[in-house]
Amino acid sequence: MSILFSPLTLRGLTARNRLWVAPMCQYSAADGIPQEWHHMHLAQFASGGAGIVMAEATAVSAEARISPEDTGLWNDAQRDAWAPIVAAIRERGALAGVQLAHAGRKASTWSPFSGHRGSVPPDQGGWGTVAPSAVAYDGFAEPVELGAAAIDAIVRDFAAAAVRAVQAGFQVIEIHAAHGYLLHQFLSPLSNLRSDDYGGSLENRARLLLRIVDAVRDAAPDAALFVRFSASDWADGGWDVEETATVARWAAERGADFFDISSGGLVAHQRIVTGPGYQVGFAAEVRRRADVLVSAVGQITEASQAEQLLAAGDADAVMAAREWLRDPHFALRAASELGADIDYWPKQYLRARLA
């Protein structure tokens, strides 16, 4: 019996397996509105057997976007454009998820397709950025330090986006607190130099995230609620796996159901050592320390590799990214390789099923 192809139930929602699609920015939206590309991109993974399909980092306000081409959920037009995409995912048997995000000091940047790097100038469609402290990411524009009223507004933005997500049909909501974006910036002492209620101690640095967990849980009581963490800054004096586990436990006590464990992205001087499954140890440590459900991510490309890490108790699910781009039917292929008997092969593709 394959663990990878066993179901997992979260808040009354059952993912048909534990091989899921990680959120991957497409930098292809117009005014925050997802396009036909997003429909094709996401629906194919559901046809390919994914248990959960997580849509990309989706901004909770216009100012929260990583780039001008990011998707959003800050208005009803965006919600309505997401609805048929979500329906297509669900009709193909996967749970539909969305990652709600605020980029903070890493907002208003050029997309990777532009040929440019760094902040987009205001006269070319960029905007001013915000952060816990007025400390720029290397090579980016200096952000404005957030005041109390602006922090309150961001909490409201996450809650409002969560409401729209549910209205669009999303069943899973992930709060993005990783990869150097705003909530990660608050968590890490390398980017949070505040001396008020949002800085200094771990409790204070986690305050904004926990307020958002509360707000999103209240706004979407029936959704499965994920939090994505970077479990290490890969830099001296930065956020680490022990702090990640502590805050994950606090978030679970407030209603978060699951934790998506990645790493890095906060500072340009990070020193990451990569390799197959290089982040799995972080997931295992958070799972053990916090006694919470977690997914592992990071160069997980083989069915046997994914099966083995679940069997070892390192994680409860696998989030893959690039392998889904290489093969949108990764789950169907993995099931055949593992000899898992699944009943959700599309009938149109049965002729390609391996014996």
Which residues have a catalytic role annotated?
181
Residue 113: both structure tokens together: 């397709």
Burial class (CB in 10 A: 0-12, 13-18, 19+), 24: middle
Residues in the chain: 355
Nearest Cα to Cα of residue 19 among 259, 243, 330, 355: 330
**List of residues 6+ apart from 307 with CB closer than 8 A:** 2, 3, 4, 338
DSSP string, 79-115: HHHHHHHHHHHHHTTPEEEEEEE--GGG-SB--TTSS
Residue 237: both structure tokens together: 């004096």
Torsion angle of C-alpha atoms 180, 185, 188, 189, degrees rounded to 10? 130
Distance of CA 42 to the CA centre of its chain: 15
> Quick check: helix, strand or coil at residue 313?
coil
Contact 54, 172 (CB under 8 A): yes
Question: Residue 157, Cβ neighbours under 10 Å: how many?
Answer: 21
* Cα(122)–Cα(118) distance, integer angstroms: 13
